[in-house]
Chain A
Amino acid sequence: MGDAAGANTATRAATRGQEFLRGLRDTLPFMMGSIPFGVIFGTLATGAGLGFWATQAMSLFVFSGSAQFIAILLLGAGSGLWVVWFATLVLNLRHLLYAATLVDHVRHLSQAWRFPLAAFLTDETFAVMERRYRTQGGGPNAHWYYAASCCGMYLNWQFWTLIGITAAHQFQEIQKWGLEFAMVSTFIGIVMPLLVSLPYWAAAVTAGLVAALANPLPYKLGLMLGALAGISVGLALDLRNRRRTPAPVAADPWP
């Protein structure tokens, strides 16, 4: 780990404190953006019959918005344990790609640093860190910037989950306000800018079509079938295209 005295001499690198504050500042828009989802999650989970501690524990230990939402959805549909786990796995496979993208910048760190930076790597922190490394490069204290982004997102998620649980108890009608469409519109808002070439369009259309046709299947298996079909079609078209010109790689799904 770098020490402040050594880092400051030749490179005029930012101190740990400066990096931490900048990391928080650059993550702030994402923290604000995830407020409604923390609240909606707390509300929906409570509505689905999860108790106070179960709901908060999911945010504390799982810390993955999409997996938490789909778990609530699957719980409501009466799905089995393995379906929830499989959905978590499939939904969060994208984090492999995030980690693979950032790994060059954390390779020099100790395992004690790498563990939390991996465990708290969300969509939002990936977007912040990918942009930071791309525009400003690393630096001896860049991992403090990364840590700040993780801390900001984590504490923010815990706080708004708690507010959501409380709001559900106080306003029983909140689930009739149409907040559930916020989830739909967010997913659509993430997907549409990713449709940059034919393989991505084909993946989306295939996934949607197969998931819709397979929807009557039990345990929301249609979701898995649709996702796998979409990935396969997208990959096949991409490999065929790439022999001529490389297709653009999709950007991170968050703004």
Chain B
Amino acid sequence: MNIVLMILGMALINLAIRWPVYLFANHFRFPPLIERALAFVPVAVLTAIVVPTVIYKDDQLAFTWHNPALMAALVTAVVGYVSKNLFATIGIGMATFLLLRWLLPV
């Protein structure tokens, strides 16, 4: 893959998303339907990234108690939901993952 082309394209796409609303600020109004849909983007995209990452291991389905990433992710989710504190969630999640990886035989 052409790395220069990849980075250039990513940079342009980011600008194409971030700039137009400010550029046309005096003539811009979002359709309400689009605004509602965009509100679901963080939840949907981030969950779609995380779930396959933790339930697959080396391209194999690893939906078991012996998968430290999956177990730690479940603990992290509970901590995140209860505490609502991002830094506490990251800290406890990491600690749980490292502990489980050490305890559970690979």
Q: What residues of chain A have their CB less than 8 Å away from a CB belonging to chain B? A: 33, 50-51, 54, 57-58, 61-64, 67, 70-71, 75, 80-81, 84-85, 88-97, 99-100, 103, 106-107, 111, 114-115, 117-119, 121, 178, 181-182, 184-195, 199-200, 203-212, 215, 222-224, 226-231, 234-235, 238-239, 249-250, 253-255
Looking at A100, A117, A205, A206, which has the most chain B CB atoms within 10 Å of its CB? Answer: A100
Q: A115's contact among B11, B19, B37, B54, by CB below 8 Å, is which?
A: B19
Q: What residues of chain B have their CB less than 8 Å away from a CB belonging to chain A? A: 1-11, 13-15, 17-19, 21-23, 25-26, 28, 30, 33, 35-56, 69, 72-73, 76-77, 80-81, 84-87, 89-90, 93-94, 97-98, 101
Q: A178-B101, A188-B50 are in contact. Are A99 and B94 (CB under 8 A)?
A: no
Q: B44's contact among A58, A184, A231, by CB below 8 Å, is which?
A: A231
* Complex Cα spacing A195 to B42, Å: 11
Measured CB to CB, the nearest residue on chain A to B53 is A184
Whether A189 and B80, one on each chain, are in contact in the complex, defined by CB atoms closer than 8 angstroms, is yes
Q: A204-B43, A210-B48 are in contact. Are A184 and B13 (CB under 8 A)?
A: no
Closest-CB distance, A215 to chain B (whole angstroms): 4
* Complex Cα spacing A100 to B35, Å: 9
Which residues of B lie under 8 Å from residue A227 when comparing CB positions?
41, 44-45, 48
Q: A97-B35, A118-B23 are in contact. Are A178 and B98 (CB under 8 A)?
A: yes
Measured CB to CB, the nearest residue on chain B to A239 is B36
* Complex Cα spacing A205 to B47, Å: 8
Closest-CB distance, A86 to chain B (whole angstroms): 9
* Complex Cα spacing A178 to B73, Å: 13
Write 28 A-B pairs (CB below 8 A) sorted by A numbering. Answer: A33-B87, A50-B3, A57-B7, A71-B6, A81-B5, A81-B6, A88-B9, A88-B13, A88-B14, A99-B18, A103-B21, A106-B22, A106-B25, A114-B25, A118-B21, A182-B90, A184-B93, A185-B97, A187-B47, A189-B93, A192-B77, A205-B47, A207-B51, A208-B48, A211-B48, A227-B41, A235-B36, A239-B36
Q: B80's contact among A118, A188, A206, by CB below 8 Å, is which?
A: A188
Whether A254 and B38, one on each chain, are in contact in the complex, defined by CB atoms closer than 8 angstroms, is no
Q: A67-B10, A184-B73, A203-B43 are in contact. Are A107 and B52 (CB under 8 A)?
A: no
